[in-house]
Amino acid sequence: MKKKMKYTADIESISKHEIPEWFHDAKFGIFIHWGLYSVPAFAITGIDMKNYFTKGVEHRLKNMPYSEWYLNTMKIDGSPTQKYHEETYGKDFSYDEFVPMFNEAVKKWNPDEMAGFFKQIGARYVVLVTRHCDGFILWPTKQPNPNKENYTSPRDIVGELTKAVKQNGMKMGFYYCSAWEWTFNPNPLMDKESYEGNYINPTEYTQYVNNHWYELIDEYNPSILWSDMGYPPGTNVNEIFAYFYNKNPDGVVNDRWNQYLPKEKNFRKNHKDFLTPEYRTFKKIQKNKFEVCRGIGNSFGYNKFETEEDYLSIEELVRLLVDVVSKNGNLLLNVGPKADGTIPEYQKQRLIDLGKWLDVNGEAIFDTRPWKKPRARTLEGINLRFTQKPGILYAILLDNPKTSEFRIKDLQIENISKIELLGHDNEVSWIQKDGNLEISLSIKLEDAPAYSFKITLE
């Protein structure tokens, strides 16, 4: 039996924390961005996210594709969000006026239905945004916003969803925007200078953030602490980590706890269990655990102007998951509910389709580890990804072969016992020839985003 470690508030102790097996096994989680921004539900569409992050800070902030940034973007003169807000609600309509609209809508929300759906589609964990940069709080905190009255959801969204998620056998995690809060610093982020200057927070704010993290840990016992934008200076975040790990040794923390140091104009890098690349992944297997986070479309929060063309196709979604898992990652896929908690139909259908694929192929995804190489190609030009379990190699074909025979290039495995196609009862014929693995199918494959071949080793 593994001895329970007592952590102390220093990097030497904290860095000894090991990532728990459940997080390595999980592979697929659901991110939820849901708040006041779900009422206007607007952000610019049609952006190429591959190129978006290469643009300058000023361009990115003015043309923000994330609806959860609505409050900030509506303050930037000439931004599409500002134009939309004034044309739709009027120039004098404040962001605070969305509060009663959200509070009324959220009365309809059913947490058991939401959690049950996530379980149905195969998610192993859920990460909820408990408070984004706009400062609106989704639980009945004992530390209310000192700058806004009644700036808290009347329902304990955090508590109700946490209970439902855990009852469905999934892990629960909390996102919290630590470094920024626009009710403490109401000036908009609009260029590099304001972007960096927003990290300079008073002692009052730092204590406010600390109190919220401890409260979330004590009240709801999460398995994941997911900070964003860094962490305000003037505090030792190792104290939070030690407190969390001592309560929940199988918990994990992400990599966005670094602290901006105004005098040095630089960041202090703090402890992390895993990396969080956003809308991007890696070309090779990573030694360090990572978690790709992204929306099904371009926005995390609900954007009612996104169409089906703005969303990943089911083929793209499945292949993204397979690619991430083959390289030692998890996929944290976001849903942006409407204000009443319902998941938009396009998002819901993508998740249903992903769940159906996982019903057949989940064995090649969940509880696996990367193989010695993540990828290969057939001589016919189809890409593959690999995962493994003890005594088993999974070769996942990322397209439908045009013929009943195909050859996996440069795949020479001497100790194969048998090969099966997940979802089918019959074994697959195969031979090793000229350094390639040749596979013959006795059935015609139905259209699917990817096909998983289970190679059992002697």
d(CA 190, CA 76): 7
Burial 126-136 (b: 16+ CB within 10 A, else e): bbbbbbbbbbb
Q: How many separate domains does the chain show?
A: 2
Do 375 and 356 have their domain in common?
no
Indicate whether 4 belongs to any domain: no
Indicate whether 29 belongs to any domain: yes
Do 300 and 438 have their domain in common?
no
Do 80 and 140 have their domain in common?
yes
Domain boundary pick from 364, 389, 416: 364
Indicate whether 3 belongs to any domain: no
* 448: CATH: 2.60.40.1180
Smallest Cα–Cα separation from 58: which of 195, 155, 255?
195
Cα distances (Å, whole numbers) of residue 232 to 140, 176, 207, 387, 429? 23, 13, 9, 39, 59
Indicate whether 2 belongs to any domain: no
Q: Which residues are bridge partners to 397 per DSSP?
A: 384, 451
pLDDT at 446: 85
d(CA 102, CA 40): 10
d(CA 327, CA 18): 19
Do 121 and 195 have their domain in common?
yes
Do 417 and 322 have their domain in common?
no
Q: Report mean pLDDT in 10-residue bins for the chain, 458 residues.
A: 82 98 98 98 92 89 96 97 98 98 98 98 98 98 95 97 98 96 90 75 90 98 97 94 98 96 84 97 97 97 96 97 98 98 97 98 98 96 97 96 91 92 90 94 90 95
Domain boundary pick from 334, 364, 394: 364
d(CA 218, CA 213): 9
Residue whose pair of structure tokens reads 């998740």 in the numeric block: 351
Do 305 and 404 have their domain in common?
no
Indicate whether 249 belongs to any domain: yes
Edge-to-edge order in the sheet of strand 369-377: 369-377, 383-389, 392-397, 451-457, 416-421
Domain boundary pick from 324, 347, 364: 364
Do 270 and 409 have their domain in common?
no
0.85 surpassed by pTM: yes
pLDDT at 87: 98
Residue whose pair of structure tokens reads 């952590």 in the numeric block: 7
* 145: CATH: 3.20.20.80
- Residues 12, 13, 19, 21, CA torsion sign: positive
Cβ proximity of 210 and 240 under 8 Å = yes
Indicate whether 17 belongs to any domain: yes
d(CA 288, CA 119): 27
d(CA 259, CA 433): 56
| DSSP string over 27-55 | -EEEEE--SGGGTT--------HHHHTTS
d(CA 401, CA 3): 50
Do 315 and 394 have their domain in common?
no
d(CA 299, CA 132): 14
Q: Which is it for strands 28-32 and 329-335: parallel, antiparallel or unpaired?
A: parallel
Predicted confidence (pLDDT) per residue in 416-455, tens digit: 999 999 999 877 999 999 999 999 998 888 889 999 999 9
By residue range, what is the domain housing residue 427?
369-457
d(CA 358, CA 362): 4
pLDDT at 304: 98
CA atoms within 13 A on the CB side of 131: 29
| DSSP string over 97-154 | GHHHHHHHHGGG--HHHHHHHHHHTT--EEEEEEE-TT--BSS--SS--TTSTT-B-S
Do 341 and 376 have their domain in common?
no
Indicate whether 131 belongs to any domain: yes
d(CA 448, CA 446): 6
Tell me, what amino acid is at 220?
A: Y
Phi, psi of 268 (to 5 degrees): -90, 120
Indicate whether 247 belongs to any domain: yes
pLDDT at 59: 92
d(CA 164, CA 275): 27
Residue whose pair of structure tokens reads 């402890």 in the numeric block: 271
d(CA 388, CA 369): 5
| Element counts in the chain: helices (H) and strands (E) | 14, 17
Do 246 and 229 have their domain in common?
yes
Tell me which DSSP letter residue 67 carries.
G
Residue whose pair of structure tokens reads 């952006």 in the numeric block: 47
Do 272 and 414 have their domain in common?
no
Do 79 and 214 have their domain in common?
yes
